Amino acid sequence: MGDLQSLSTPLWIMAAVGVLQALVLIGLGVGGYMVYSRVTTLIADLEARQIEPLRERVDAILADVKGITARVSHQTERVDHAIAGTIDRVDETAARVRAGVQDKVSQAAGVVRGVRAVIVSLLHKESHA
């Protein structure tokens, strides 16, 4: 029995150490959960105080940019339409001017040909006479 008595003391020490280790692990788990809970609360508070107002401002800026982009796009379409209309009118005017100049040049060329024909005819009659 002396041997059982000498073995039971280390077994009791090992059991006490095992219980102490279990208590330490439970304490670490509870402490870790408390730290996690505090960090989560801190992050949520930081997000509510800092990030949410910033996000609202960015959303407002993006909405303004979208509105400005829509207006610029509309104005660009109007300018493109106005330029196309102006170019069409310039082309039409150039065609009219070209046609008018061609008519006047044709008339002037006809007159010059007629005068030339008269002069050639007169010179030709004088040379035969």
pLDDT digits (tens, 9 = 90+) for 17-55: 999 999 999 999 999 999 999 999 999 998 888 888 888
Quote the Cα angle for 93-98-112, to 5°.
Answer: 150
The token pair that represents 34 in the structure block: 């408390």
| Separation CA 61–CA 64 (nearest Å) | 5
Please state the length of the chain: 129
Confirm whether pTM is higher than 0.75.
no
Rounded to 5, what percent of the chain is helix, strand, coil? 100, 0, 0
In which residue are the tokens 């170019």 written? 87
pLDDT digits (tens, 9 = 90+) for 53-98: 888 899 999 999 999 999 999 999 999 999 999 999 999 998 888 8
Q: For the chain, which residues make up each domain, given as ranges?
A: 1-97
From 21, 124, 66, 112, select the one nearest 58 (Cα to Cα). 66
List of residues 6+ apart from 41 with CB closer than 8 A: none
